[in-house]
């Protein structure tokens, strides 16, 4: 997605969570499998001081995708 900067720290990769989940679905995972994989293997991984930033949009929840619309809210 891009590069983020902060005072006193190195530039960090900024990654779009929805795009990552969508790509995992294209590669054959269900939405639930993609979320589980993301949370455990990506979000849960500590790769040092330069960990990427994972971008979530305000109207987007990782838990479930209930419609075909990007960023659909869930209840």
pLDDT band per the 50, 70, 90 thresholds, residue 73: very low
pLDDT band per the 50, 70, 90 thresholds, residue 40: very high
Angstrom distance (rounded) from CA 15 to CA 53 = 6
Taking the complete model, does pTM exceed 0.75, yes or no? no
pLDDT reading at 58 higher than 90: no
Do 14 and 4 form a contact (C-beta atoms < 8 A)? yes
């Amino acid at each position: 997605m891009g590069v983020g900067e902060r005072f006193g720290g190195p530039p960090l990769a900024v990654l779009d969570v929805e795009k990552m989940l969508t790509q995992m679905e294209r590669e054959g995972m269900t939405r639930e499998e993609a979320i589980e994989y993301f949370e455990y293997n990506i979000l849960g991984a500590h790769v040092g001081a330069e960990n990427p930033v994972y971008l979530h949009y305000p109207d987007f929840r990782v838990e479930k995708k209930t419609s075909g619309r990007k960023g659909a809210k869930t209840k």
